[in-house]
Amino acid sequence: MVLAYARRGVVPGVNAVDPSGKAAGVWLRGVSSAGVGLQDGDRLVAIGRAPVRNVQDAVSIVSSALMAGHTQISGTVRRGDQELDLVVFVPGDGDGGAQAPPPSIQP
């Protein structure tokens, strides 16, 4: 799922802003049914060590990681008052269609 979105240059969400109007990540939507541990309404705030201010940041960071050949991409989402770190396995084109392990999400 992550790979498919990244290859299309799409993030399943909308820009989030804090009360002062400052960019504050990406509200995720349409991800609950994917069975990867994310929930609609989670807010993506970082990919790797890079802060995510908006959808364009997320697309750029993930695209760069894919072009660099990374096989795992870490990130941080906020769910209510919790920060959750996650790691997503990115299958390569030559992996023969092997199933990727599910993402791990840790509070």
* The pair of three-digit structure tokens given for residue 58, joined into one six-digit string: 């997320």
**Count of domains in the chain?**
1
Parent domain of 53:
2-106
Distance in angstroms (rounded) separating the CA atoms of residues 14 and 49: 21
Q: Tens place of pLDDT for every residue, the chain, 107 residues?
A: 555 655 665 566 788 888 888 888 999 888 877 777 888 899 999 999 899 998 888 888 888 888 898 888 899 999 999 999 988 887 765 544 444 444 444 54
Q: What is the pLDDT of residue 9?
A: 57
Domain with 12 in it: what CATH number?
A: 2.30.42.10
Q: What is the pLDDT of residue 100?
A: 47
Q: How many residues belong to the chain?
A: 107
